[in-house]
Amino acid sequence: MNPEPSRRRVLLAATAALAGSALATGCATTEPASVALMTAGEGSAFLPYGRGIAKVVTARSGIAVEVRTSGGSNENLGVVEREPMILGTAFLGSAFEAVNGIAFAAGRRHENVRALFPMYETSFQTATLRSRKLTRTADLDGRRVGVGPTNGPAEGYFRGLA
């Protein structure tokens, strides 16, 4: 049995979660049900993923999903913490830090965030020129290393390795 959730199950879970949150706000109004979904900026994996979820959920439930761009996981977690009717995409590592009040969350535990489903697993690769003769992560000590966007998940993971 495949431990990974099927695409169908993920979409059904997203539809149910979005429907429930939109209905909760829609009970007191005659406005059409809608919900916002924080993603990340152009060029990110979160933005097309969020657009896809929005399209499916809107088509299957009639709930309008407004996709919003953002600075990514850390910003999304902060918005979701403050605004209960907004959903957001986040790397699991960033969510762990937010819930525990560590790293970027610096002593402020995010107690209002909830996970709906994992989007995908994140892998990291390292590459170097063969001529540098670097064979272990420890060989990077004292060297200049690029790890992606500032405050992004890779930066946090690589700081943890240091």
Cα dihedral 96→102→105→106 (10° resolution): 180
The beta-strand segments (E) located in 6-161 are 34-38, 64-68, 86-88
What superfamily does domain 7-122 belong to in CATH?
Periplasmic binding protein-like II (3.40.190.10)
Structure tokens at 137: 């992560």
Q: Kindly report the pTM of this predicted structure.
A: 0.68
Alpha-carbon span 46 to 77, nearest angstrom? 14
pLDDT digits (tens, 9 = 90+) for 40-91: 999 888 999 999 999 999 999 999 999 999 999 999 999 999 998 899 999 8
Domain boundaries, the chain: 7-122, 123-162
Instruction: Look at residue 83 in the predicted model and tell me its pLDDT.
Output: 93
